[in-house]
Amino acid sequence: MASKASPKTATPSKKAYAQAGVDVDLGNAVKSRIQSMVKVTHGPEVLGKIGGFGGLFSANFKGMKDPVLVSSVDGVGTKLKVAFAAGRHDTVGQDLVNHCIDDIAVLGARPLFFLDYIGAEKLEPAVFEKLLSGFAKACKAGGCALIGGETAQMPGMYQAGEYDLAGTIVGVVDRKKMIDGSRIKPGDVIIGLPSNGLHTNGYSLARKVLFETMKLKLTSKLPGVPKALGEELLRVHRNYQPLLATLPGNLVKGIAHITGGGLVDNFPRVLPENCDALIETKRWKVPALFQHIQENGGVDPAEMYQVFNMGIGMTLVVSEADARETVRLTRGRPIGRIVKGSKKVQLA
């Protein structure tokens, strides 16, 4: 007859798992401390508590005739390498939330809730809490609830002291107010909204040029760059959704979030088949950090606009008649126009 496992045999199995690199008890202890941090992002729509098998959100679509859910998932890329080197972990949490919010804001959606994923070589309580504080700060500022997530300890999958982040966001937009680019036509004006540095893309190339080619350190200062290099590279990705939400309905015909792929690859995602975007690159001053990367890395100018945002984090398309008012409301600037074409970007 098979004997039942006694409490004494359960203890060694726990220790064995911890010795293999996964400390379940530590994970539970760390997670138990996040309730107060996350609760500040919760409104009455959030049901239950963090730690269940699923986050609960009671959606209220009052005032919407035809609500459409909008979702997106993303990561922070190799910007994490800069965070590891700097030992600073709160800003990348904000980056992830804001990036995801911006991705659905281009459709006119407002965020409802956010879920995070953290995969780590080993769970470091101080790092975990910094990441969660970043998520919570950005969620609260962005008006969305942090309702759940997953933290995985995976020894052997990551270098010591490293982790990866991913986030999923769900928002909503009334179908009649959805911004899909279908009204864009030749003659429309492109308005650019300034970025807050590199945001969350191009870091593999930036790190190669700045740290390998130029032999710079996080504390290095570059001409024309306001802060030390580490601080510049960890500038938080800007959340544009609150500003976009203030614009009058039907003013904006199309919006492109300038992330990985730069202006060249992102703008075509909102263009009709018979239109091109003519971007006049001399209409704004490219921040000095991008110039240092281009010059010292010997990067072709056209490739720079396909890798980096070059100082423009979001672009709006409006009619020529609405361009001046849009500039006033957003403090952006005209950076080009829509011309006849085949869904491409032309750089001038």
pLDDT in tens, 160-205: 889 999 999 999 999 999 999 999 999 999 999 999 999 999 999 9
Cα–Cα distances (Å) from 41 to 94, 288, 327, in that order, read 13, 36, 32
pLDDT of residue 132: 93
Q: What is the mean pLDDT of the chain?
A: 91
Q: Band of the pLDDT at 39, cuts 50, 70, 90?
A: confident
Question: 144 near 40, Cβ under 8 Å?
Answer: no
Measured over all CA atoms, what is the biggest interatomic distance in the chain, rounded to whole angstroms?
86
Q: How far apart are CA 231 and CA 220, in angstroms?
A: 10
Position 98 pLDDT exceeds 90 = yes
Q: Report pTM.
A: 0.91
Share of the chain above pLDDT 90, in %: 76
Cα–Cα distance, 26 to 214 (Å, whole number): 41
Domains, the chain, in order of start with CATH, read: 22-177 (3.30.1330.10), 189-347 (3.90.650.10)
At residue 266, does pLDDT exceed 80?
yes
Which amino acid is residue 262, in one-letter code?
G
Mind listing the pLDDT tens digit for each residue in 203-229?
Answer: 999 999 999 999 999 999 999 999 999
Residue 8 has pLDDT above 60, yes or no: no
Q: Which pLDDT value is given to residue 102? A: 98
The H or E element that residue 75 is part of is: strand 67-75
Question: Which amino acid, one-letter code, is at 153?
Answer: Q
**pLDDT score for 4:** 47
Confidence bin at 30 (pLDDT 50/70/90): low
